[in-house]
Structure 1
């Protein structure tokens, strides 16, 4: 049998992992490690151990602990996405091809201007598409290009990363070779 102090420490960490789980369930947005540490008065080591225990407990069920750019959140395991889409089809948001193309140009080429996007896409960019991306909080203006007219520079946000389950831009899939798609050599 384990010594009492080791058992007490494990019990303490189990309780912490449950408290973290409660906070994540109650939160509408991901929680940063600093927020979790502050709310529960944890050290870095305690937080790491409690998160590991939480993940172990969750592995037996349908929820997963997921880290995004804004912090940690709970989400349903990917293996259940087909069931959710079948039962709750209204939850599945359809994004237009133009919106996805615009968002891709911004994500992969940032910072970019509106004219940069139009050049890459080969079509005029609808203000409605940019408005949708701003309204979702997926892009922001940050700085100006030092050229005629000083156009605003567009960047993706932490909300964009959160929406697509990424912790940083390095996790974006590799950009396809567009010349190979067109059949050019």
Structure 2
């Protein structure tokens, strides 16, 4: 088991993106149990400067969140996204898998090809499975890069209405259609991730 942990640790350390259990199984010798090695490594790295985190279906080493201030550069260049891109990204994140026609129905306006191209180019959105409906339209979903950027394990960790209100980003009685995205109210005891404030959520550093 110790040797398995070393091998998994080496693969994850060298990987440029999260690695799934299946991918680890393909790399390790026959008879290895990558899932057990991952579980042991996660416990071993708890509370340390580097932690082993689950990101989507994969695992990756990440700096402990409370030490992020040590990694900050003196200057940070941020690329502002257009309102159309922010709204489109929010709709995809909360309603995925969603088709272009459904995005347009929620927003109430047409979605330009350039907006979707920008999100795909940023690698925050990808094309999902086609719907088994006439025309077989493509769907759009958020990527692991999106989850990784905002410190989310899954899309379920996106903030709900109560979290957005608590952050002062929504009025206490918001309109039925917030930014064109009818969010679903979550229970207070839902397992919600501690992401960045929603007003910073869609800025690409």
TM-score by length of 1: 0.68
Q: Distance in 1 between matches of 2:139 and 2:89?
A: 10
Q: Tell me which residue corresponds to 2:19.
A: 31
Determine if the alignment matches structure 1 residue 52 to structure 2 residue 39: yes
Structure 2: which 5+ runs fail to align? 178-205
Q: Could you say what secondary structure the match of 1:80 adopts?
A: helix
- How big is the alpha-carbon RMSD for the aligned residues of Structure 1 and Structure 2? 3.4
Structure number with the higher helix fraction is: 1
Q: Distance in 1 between matches of 2:151 and 2:15?
A: 17
Q: Distance in 2 between matches of 1:183 and 1:133?
A: 26
Question: 1:66: Cα distance to partner?
Answer: 1.1
Structure 1: which 5+ runs fail to align? 1-12
Q: Tell me which residue corresponds to 1:156.
A: 141
Q: Distance in 1 between matches of 2:97 and 2:44?
A: 41
The 1:49–1:114 alpha-carbon spacing in structure 2 relative to 1, beyond 3 Å, is closer
TM-score by length of 2: 0.63
Determine if the alignment matches structure 1 residue 182 to structure 2 residue 175: yes
**1:66 and 1:72 in contact (8 A); partners too:** yes
Which structure has the bigger radius of gyration? 1
Question: 1:42: Cα distance to partner?
Answer: 6.1
